[in-house]
Amino acid sequence: MRVVVQRVKEGNVVIDGKVHGEIGAGYVLLVGFTHGDTAETAAKVAKKITELRIFDDENGKMNLSIYDAEGAILSISQFTLYADVSQGRRPSFTTAMNYRDASALYDVFNDELRKRNLRVETGIFGAEMKVSLVNDGPVTIWVDSKEL
């Protein structure tokens, strides 16, 4: 499982011309799954993300959690995080988890975040989405379950 964590001032996702999810300060998460990922993987990654201290304290040092910042999460499914561009010019997505299983794990992941008392907005798995954000810092962190 891979997640790109972006600390934001605000973010939203538009689907079919309508805002589907919107947050102020917090994280926009781009979330991808691969073969072998499980509900346990999703829980482990959710825990790691909620424990990150990447918001600035009063001294401008990244020392505060999303709870301290009273932030929210906008979670967006993104199978392209598993693109393989090692051969040719067109990416291969064979390492991305299949649609059905990834969709189920995406729901598990978002539920794990909600269990940790965070407001979580989402896109729609597999939909054509327009994601907007104002990156804060910018701060962008890569979380890969194989590294936890």
Give the C-alpha separation, 126 to 61, whole Å. 37
Least Cα distance to 140 among 5, 19, 9 occurs for 5
SS3 85: coil
Active site residues: 78-80
